[in-house]
Amino acid sequence: MEEKRILVVDDEEPIRDLFECAFTRAGYSVRTADSAEKALEIVQNTPFWVLFLDLNLPGMNGVDLCRRIRQEYPMAIPIAVTGYASLFELTDCRSAGFEDYFTKPVNLAELLDAAEQAFRKLERWKKR
Partner 1 sequence: MKILIAEDDLTTRTILRGVLVKWGYEVIAADNGKEAWERLQDPDAPQLALLDWMMPEMNGPELCQKLRAQKRPAPLYIILLTSKGDREDIIEGLEVGADEYITKPYNNEELRARIKVGQRILELQTALIQKEKLQGVLEMAGAVCHELNQPLQTVSGWAEMLLLDLSANDPHFQALKKIKEGVDRAGSLTRKIMHISQYQTKDYLGGGSRIIDLDKSTKPVEGFPG
Residues 6+ apart with CB under 8 A from 47: 73, 76
Taking a C-beta distance cutoff of 8 angstroms, is the pair 46, 81 a contact?
no
Site for partner 1 contains 60 (CB under 8 A): no
In the complex, least distance from residue 83 CB atom to partner 1, rounded to whole angstroms: 4
Using CB under 8 A, which of the segments 43-51, 65-73, 83-91, 114-122 binds partner 1?
Answer: 83-91
- Residue 84 or 125 with smaller CB distance to partner 1: 84
Site for partner 1 contains 12 (CB under 8 A): yes
Q: What are φ and ψ of residue 57, in 5° steps?
A: -115, 150
In the complex, least distance from residue 33 CB atom to partner 1, rounded to whole angstroms: 17
Q: What is the C-alpha to C-alpha distance for residues 67 and 121, in angstroms, rounded to an integer?
A: 20
Among 1, 44, 105, 126, binds partner 1 (CB under 8 A): 105
The residues with which 31 forms a beta bridge, in sequence order, are: 7
- Residue 19 or 49 with smaller CB distance to partner 1: 19
Taking a C-beta distance cutoff of 8 angstroms, is the pair 7, 33 a contact?
yes
